A = this chain, B = another copy of it.
Amino acid sequence: MPTAISPLAPASFPEMPPIAGVRLATAAAGIRYPGRTDVLLALFDPGTSVAGVFTRSKCPSAAVDWCRDRIKNGRASALVVNSGNANAFTGKSGRAATTLTARIAAEAAGCKIDEVFLASTGVIGEPLDATKFADVMDRLVAEAAPAAWQPAARAIMTTDTFPKGAAAIVRLGSRPVTICGIAKGAGMIAPDMATMLSFVFTDAPIAPAVLNALLRDGVADTFNAVTVDGDTSTSDTLLAFATGAAAAHGVARIARRSDTRLPAFRKGFDAVLANLAEQVARDGEGARKLVEVFVEGAASKKSARRIALSIANSPLVKTAIAGEDANWGRVVMAVGKAGEPADRDRLSIWFNGIRVAHKGERDPSYDEAAVAAAMKKPEIMLKVALGLGKGRDRVLTCDLTKEYVAINGDYRS
């Protein structure tokens, strides 16, 4: 386990208000890590809507299967998340563990078992002993309280070096509603659907179908535009819960995507997703640089995304940035291997605003000293202009350091 906090971490955990209709509690169930919390319980008031986006892995975890089978109902009463064990590649015992966990939570919380959602993160391929949840569940239900966001974000961490939270207050018509989210993720992060675990909560009254649409739209340029190592997890889960408690203050329910109040809400919702996704990149395993890859002038947005991901996932580009080397040659390589339309002789490349290559050659005004100074910054903006069309896109990643290798060379043992 890493101990030093990422140098790219925000200065502090944000102020996050409570969400009416959401109560949180954490406990140390002894799943794997000694001396820390590893279970999060969230309880929701009746009538809470839920929507979810999950990993596209062909070998998903048991918890992902559990959620997928129940997300269409659109109703949630509880969420149980554990760290330390992903309950993935655990076969029948994994399925039994999800059922047992949900039953323990449903009995303690007095809700339907099919309204319990689950997420697990940690080591893959080890059986998860769900009986450990029985020891702590009654206390979790009893202690659940609003606004315990930071402990909640801590309980779901694995190789994360800091807890990740983000909040926004937006107006639905004339009334304020609140959106709060937490996330974990540091390695095995790649589209699609990027990620790790993230849970977003709001008191806005939103029908499940609308929440689902918001989530699918919102994820495309946030969590699906982040990559740490190109490795897609078996367990990626993003769930959004809308308690509807704001209805008590006169906020009418959003039942349709055409609701004129939705754009304002979407803006805040997307901002929370984007903030959390950026924090995941900032906590990339071993990361010392946050890297924004912008691609413009591509044949289409889709083509720009593919080229940006090819650059962001290239070990040679990432190690060069770790070495503070503005190695545009490797950027050209990564553009070339993406398989998308590209013309070497129209390419221009910038690092932190300094054009280092122009129209297929080193920039005539290239100044090694200026570029070297720019590369020392903790945030690197790498821009590539293809000069072909109007497609543009942006992907977030981090550098590849010896610490990534160290963290992943002895994570399991």
Contact string against B for A residues 122-150, beta-carbon threshold 8 Å, 1 for contact and 0 otherwise? 01111100000000000000000000000
Closest residue of B by beta carbon distance from A409: B323
> Do B402 and A329 touch across chains, with their CB atoms under 8 A apart?
no
Interface residues of A in 143-201 (CB under 8 A from B): 187-188, 190
Given known A-B contacts A187-B316, A232-B336, A405-B402, A413 and B57 have beta carbons under 8 A apart: no
> Are A337's CB and B409's CB within 8 A?
no
Q: Which residue in B60, B123, B344 is a CB contact (below 8 Å) of A344? A: B60
- Across the interface, A123 reaches (CB within 8 A) one of B232, B233, B329, namely B329
Interface status of A314 (Cβ within 8 A of chain B)? yes
The answer to whether the Cβ of A340 comes within 8 Å of any Cβ in the partner chain is: yes
Q: Which of A294-325 contact B (CB under 8 A)?
A: 313-316, 319-320, 322-323, 325
Tell whether, in the assembled complex, residue A124 and residue B330 are in contact, meaning their CB atoms are under 8 Å apart.
Answer: yes
Residue A107 at the chain B interface, CB threshold 8 Å:
no
Q: Chain A interface (Cβ within 8 Å of chain B)?
A: 55-60, 86, 88-94, 123-127, 187-188, 190, 229-234, 313-316, 319-320, 322-323, 325, 327-330, 332-342, 344-345, 347, 357, 359-362, 400-402, 404-406, 408-413
Are B412 and A91 touching (Cβ within 8 A)?
no
Q: Please name all residues of chain B whose beta carbon is closer than 8 Å to the beta carbon of A347 when the two chains form the complex.
A: 59, 89
A329 touches B412 (CB 8 A): yes
Which listed residue (B92, B126, B190, B344) contacts A362, Cβ 8 A? B126
A-B contact pairs, 12 of them (CB 8 A): A59-B332, A59-B344, A125-B327, A127-B361, A188-B316, A315-B400, A319-B405, A320-B409, A323-B411, A327-B411, A329-B412, A400-B405
Complex contact A329–B361 (CB within 8 A): no
Q: Which of B124, B316, B330, B338 contacts A333 (CB 8 A)?
A: B124
Q: Which one, B125, B322, B329, contacts A88 given CB within 8 A?
A: B329
Task: Flag if A316 contacts B361 (CB, 8 Å).
Answer: no
B402 and A339 contacting across the interface, CB-CB below 8 Å: no
* Interchain nearest-CB distance for A391 vs B (Å): 15
Tell me the nearest residue of chain B to A229, going by C-beta: B315
Q: Which residues of B contact A323 (CB under 8 A)?
A: 408-411, 413
Contact (Cβ within 8 A) B405 A333: no
For A56, the chain B residues whose CB sits under 8 A away are 337, 339
Q: A231's closest neighbor in chain B, by CB?
A: B316
Q: For A322, what are the chain B residues with a Cβ–Cβ distance below 8 Å?
A: 405, 409
Given the contacts A337-B232, A408-B320, A408-B323, A332 and B188 also touching, CB distance less than 8 Å? no
| Least distance between A32 CB and chain B CB atoms (Å) | 13
A315-B230 in contact (CB<8A): yes
Is A410's CB under 8 angstroms from B125's CB?
no
- Contact partner of A404 (CB less than 8 A), chosen from B89, B126, B229, B319, is B319
CA distance A232 to B123 in the complex (A): 31
Return chain B residues, CB-CB under 8 Å to A402: 402, 405-406
CB atoms of A336 and B234 under 8 A apart: yes
Beyond contacts A231-B330, A232-B333, A401-B405: 13 other A-B pairs, Cβ-Cβ < 8 A, are A58-B339, A58-B344, A59-B335, A89-B328, A89-B361, A91-B345, A124-B333, A230-B230, A231-B315, A315-B404, A323-B409, A325-B409, A402-B405
Bound CA span A323–B89, Å: 21
For A233, list chain B residues within 8 Å (CB).
Answer: 333
Contacts of A124 in B (CB 8 A): 327-330, 332-333
Q: How far is the CB of A369 from chain B (nearest CB, A)?
A: 12
Q: Are A319 and B361 in contact (CB under 8 A)?
A: no
Query: A94 to B332, alpha carbons, bound, how many Å?
Result: 15
